Amino acid sequence: MEYEKHFFRRSSLLVIFYLCCMIFFVCILYDAQIVHGADYLSESTTQVTTTQAVKTFRGPITDRNGKVLVSNRQIYTVTFDPELVEDDPSITPGEGNTVHSESVAQAMLRLLRLLQEQGIAWEDGLPVSQNMPWSYTIQDVTGTQRVRFQNFLRDRDWSPTEITADTKMPLMSGTLVREFALSASSALSADQLMELLRKDFGIPQSFTPQEARLVLGVLYELRLRTLEHNAATVPYFLAEDVSVELISLLNDGGFSGAVVDSKAVRQYHTDYAAHILGRIGAIPDRETLDALNEPYNTAKEAGEEDLSAYHHYQLNEQVGRDGAELAFESWLRGREGTRAITTDQNGKITSELYTIDPQPGGTVALTIDIDFQAKVEAALASGVETAKAGARNDEERERMKTIGGAAAVVSVKDSEILALATYPTYSQRTYQEDLETLSQDPAAPYTNRAVNGAYTPGSTFKPMTAVAALESGVIDTKTKINATGHWTYPGDPNSYANCWLYNSSRGRHGRINVSEAITVSCNFFFAEMGYQLGLDRLNEYAAAFGLGEHTGIEISERVGSRHENAPGEDQSPWAGFGQAQQLYTPLQLANYIAVLLRGGQRVDAHLLRDVTSYDGSSVLYTHQPEVLSEISISEETLAAVKKGMGDLVTKGSLAGEFKDCIVTAGAKTGSAQVGDVVANGVFVCFAPFEEPEIAVAVVIEQGRSGAALASTAVQILNDYFSPDDIGYAVVPEGELLP
């Protein structure tokens, strides 16, 4: 009985204990889910909403045969982040300084000493001399660095002066006048600026003037990147493309504030086609930024919910600045990804999830053949140097140091650009190293003469005038005109045009038809054609051939200009043989010949062949020729014009130069006087004669005459065509075919 009482008591205690545990557990659940449920849910949600942009790779650029011209290379960079510097407890800050500012200066100095030991230089745009006595070096820095300095002074309220290359010293602001207890405004000396900078950045008093200057140059560059209205938007790298050995020294030495990272840079695999390939760089200004972001902003304003297909550019991004890099930016840049980061309460990453996968840029295939491009550049360089060697006196030799030239080769079939050469030129591989020297070269090697150099066409314009005269019914292919050598404007004997033969020997070409006039390049004949056609009709045909019009090329080009009569004048006779005030680019001249040979259909000259995905698995874009204009050219007209150009190289004045050409061809020379200097040489040709494949234009500044360019053109034709091109090879009589 007693046992039963004890058992009942123990059982009751166990039940009570169990009930207490259940009540306690329920209370915990109530507190977690009801009382603090919303807080815990919010905390959980916050943990998974942190997102991070994932960089992608820029697409490569290849030639038409798949040879890689531009790709990417990963390099290591070193930057400095003052926020990562740990305060040194042993530092006792000086007047106006803090422990952190002095710790930053000490860490910076230690890092810079290491870089100096390794022979690594860094950007320092502070326009103050490196050693005492301090002096401004405003005239020695770039225009961008002057703008940055101006913005820095205004941000600190130290000077309102607009900084230019002529600025000796900026004027003090009213704030500084009061701070220095001056009675009137005065110039801000370099000594005063250094004093202000030391105080502003908290440089320790123990630093020597040289040590302070060393550190201030970098801290100044870092501060520039924080200014809201400033041109200094490019990330500041202390060192780029550093060695693994330096990285080891940084890691092992505990360099506080130093950050080692990696980035992709463009790697160039050729020294040729520099003007075509272009380069990348930081977005230079807000106008460019707005233009790049126009598709994104338009889609956003239209209310599109998914904007992932559009890239939103930031000022510090690297983009194409010119050439193909700029023209095909949308294909090359790819699409950045987005990664969701989940962290715990201590900031530890617990999971990563790609919400948008990064998509590398596409592979852009150009229409050029890089091997042929290299040969065209070599032929052009040889032609220009030959022209220079022909200088007849010291004055001419000195003047011809600034000359250059250009060549353009396009496909007759669809105006694909097969080569586009400029001389002098440069290499994208050594662009940065050569920049200072070449930017001061009076021959302007950075100018793309093939698309931005505009030249009077001279007699290369005559085939176009011939087409206009024939198709307009002014003459037919059998019409003969008595070319006496001295053409006078009807009713005005004081207005005249002489043929080259008349000027040289008072000779005359006599009765000739249009084909013969092209072969002998008779100014009399084409002055008469220009007069009868009138300038409006001449310009109408010129525009239809693309002269003075955009060619369609994707990179920046100069449009050129057709002649426009001033009130009371008529320059149509002179325009008819390629003079007057008309300027066209070498690419326009080559494409005009291609239009002629196609029978009058003008399509866009283009550099983009196709775009494929980064891994080559799919074709994203293939260029389809766009018809820009059409003009009727009968077969009879085309045959007559071709005959004139063909006879020039077989039995005309260029027969000697073309005897070594391995294909049949047609050509037209031109020369254009520019003031009192030696005439520019202009040359156009095509080959093979019967079934033309390519059209070529060559211009050599002060090349004297188009005939002097024939050897350059022949070299280009021989480089393009192989002797094995059956039916095209020109074999001397009595010899066997190879």
Task: State the pLDDT confidence band at 48, using cuts at 50, 70 and 90.
Answer: very low
- Is residue 316 predicted with pLDDT exceeding 70? no
Asked if pLDDT for residue 52 goes beyond 90, the answer is no
Burial of 101 (0-12, 13-18, 19+ CB in 10 A): buried
What mean pLDDT comes out for the span 27-50?
62
Q: What is the pLDDT of residues 581-640, one digit of tens each?
A: 999 999 999 999 999 999 999 999 999 999 999 888 999 999 999 999 999 999 999 999
- Contact by Cβ (8 Å): 412, 694: yes
According to the model, what pLDDT value does residue 50 have?
58
Task: State residue 603's pLDDT score.
Answer: 97
Give the separation between CA 114 and CA 248, rounded to whole angstroms: 12
- Predicted confidence at residue 18, as pLDDT, reads 75
H-type helices in 497-583, by residue range?
500-505, 514-520, 523-533, 535-544, 572-576
Tens digit of each residue's pLDDT (9 = 90 or more) over 352-361: 665 667 788 9
Identify whether the C-beta of residue 58 lies closer than 8 Å to the C-beta of residue 332. Answer: yes
How much is the pLDDT for 86? Answer: 82
Query: Is it the case that residue 87 has pLDDT exceeding 90?
Result: no
Q: What is the pLDDT of residue 39?
A: 63
Distance CA 108, CA 217 (A): 11
Per-residue model confidence (pLDDT) at position 99: 79
> What mean pLDDT value characterizes the chain?
87
For residues 180 and 31, the model is more confident at 180
C-alpha to C-alpha distance for 175 and 157, rounded to whole angstroms: 7
Q: Pairing state of beta strands 258-268 and 68-80?
A: antiparallel
Predicted local distance difference test score (pLDDT) of residue 726: 37
Per residue in 711-736, pLDDT tens? 999 999 999 997 555 343 333 333 33
Q: State mean pLDDT over 243-271.
A: 88
pLDDT at 97 over 80: no
Mean pLDDT on 242-255? 87
pLDDT digits (tens, 9 = 90+) for 160-188: 999 999 999 999 998 899 888 887 778 99
Confidence at residue 728, expressed as pLDDT on a 0 to 100 scale: 38
What CA–CA distance (Å, rounded) separates 509 from 389? 33
Q: Taking 70 as the threshold, does the pLDDT of residue 49 lie above it? A: no
pLDDT tens-digit map of 674-706:
656 678 999 999 999 999 999 999 999 988 777
Q: What is the pTM of this model?
A: 0.79
- Beta-carbon contacts of 712 under 8 Å, excluding residues fewer than 6 positions away, are 379, 380, 382, 383, 407, 683, 698, 700
Using the predicted structure, report yes or no on whether residue 484 has a pLDDT greater than 90: yes
Integer-rounded Cα radius of gyration of the chain: 37
pLDDT at 345: 54
Domains and CATH numbers, the chain: 56-73+264-366 (3.90.1310.10), 75-253 (no CATH), 370-610+619-720 (3.40.710.10)
- What is the mean pLDDT of the segment spanning 336-353? 60
Query: What's the confidence (pLDDT) of residue 646?
Result: 97
For residues 254 and 307, give the distance between their C-alpha atoms in angstroms, rounded to a whole number.
Answer: 43
Residue 457's contacts (CB-CB under 8 Å, 6 or more residues apart) are: 547, 578, 582, 584, 589, 670, 672, 682
DSSP labels, 219-230: HHHHHHTT-SS-
For residues 124 and 217, is the Cβ–Cβ distance under 8 A? yes
**Per residue in 373-432, pLDDT tens?**
999 999 999 999 999 988 888 888 888 889 999 999 999 999 999 999 999 999 999 998
Task: Identify which of 197, 233, 236, 192 has the alpha carbon closest to the alpha carbon of residue 214.
Answer: 197
Query: At residue 191, does pLDDT exceed 90?
Result: yes
In this structure, of 97-101, 210-214, 430-434, 530-534, the range with the lowest mean pLDDT score is 97-101
